[in-house]
Amino acid sequence: MVFLFRLLSRLPLPVLHNLGAALGWLIWLVSPTYRRHLGENIALAGLADARNAAIAEAGKGIVETPKIWLRPQEELLALVARVSGWEHVEAARQAGHGVIILTPHLGCFEIAGHFIASRMPITTLYRRPRQDWLAPLMEEGRGRAFTLAPADLSGVRRLIKALRQGEAIGVLPDQVPGNGEGVWAPFFGRPAYTMTLAARLAETGATAVFVFAERLHYGAGYQLHFQPLSAPLAGDLPARVAQLNREIEAVIRLCPAQYLWGYNRYKKPAGAPDPQ
């Protein structure tokens, strides 16, 4: 597997995206569970017209990962064809604020992190993958660009320290948290167990900015979109979490075919309370 992973990293992006589109359809055909999650989630959001494209885009996301992790940073940055909204990050830096980079499972979120890391320090939480062979590759790919913090209380402290130093941190705001690390909040009209971490970190005075890397057609690279929140987070913690979910929905609607609809966003972690 390691040999195949490294081999894929050397292929041109158009080839990888063609292979990925085929893989996406293969996974959809052979996995009833995945097929059900993808179909239910995208229909619930009222975006079923994007289903076929989303199937292919999910496969592209898998096959492009070796290149994003293993190729030199200058090669990766050359894949970034266009950038919009970076001025929002620069404004936060000039004001002396830390920046919370919110990267939903939309587009190629890995390359967005490399772009940011080329311009300012960025710290992200890291959880070791279950597959032992994958761990050193992930650490090689992410560790050369990001500061990796363990996904525990000590890691959260490192995120807060980075923000107080005016640096950036990366958070996947639509990742299902473990029991005790989230609250139930609407996501496309259905209760989803949602992390509170991003809303809590915003209490430091840091500026939250969404980013996603849109895959361009025919493997032509990526366009990075940086977008601030539409309004400051307000209210108690559950209200702020619900507001973040609405903000995530709006970002997804900008490029619905490239959201990871097959992700089981509505699962209930073991021990979590029932949704109210």
Domain-wise residue ranges, the chain: 76-258
At residue 138, the pLDDT reads 80
pLDDT at 18: 97
Contact between 171 and 101 under an 8 Å Cβ cutoff? The reply is yes
In the prediction, which pLDDT does 137 show? 79
Confidence (pLDDT) at 245: 97
Predicted confidence at residue 121, as pLDDT, reads 93
CA distance 234 to 22: 44
pLDDT score, position 145: 80
List average pLDDT for each run of 10 residues in the chain, which is 276 residues long: 87 97 98 95 96 98 94 94 96 90 94 93 86 79 82 91 94 88 94 95 94 96 97 94 97 98 92 83
User: Are 162 and 117 contacting, i.e. CB atoms less than 8 angstroms apart?
Assistant: no
Q: How far apart are the first and last CA of the chain?
A: 44
Please state the pTM of the whole predicted model: 0.94
How much of the chain is in helix, strand and coil states, percent to nearest 5? 50, 20, 30
Burial of 112 per CB tally in 10 Å (0-12, 13-18, 19+):
buried
- CA 132, 103, 93 angle in degrees (round to 5)? 120
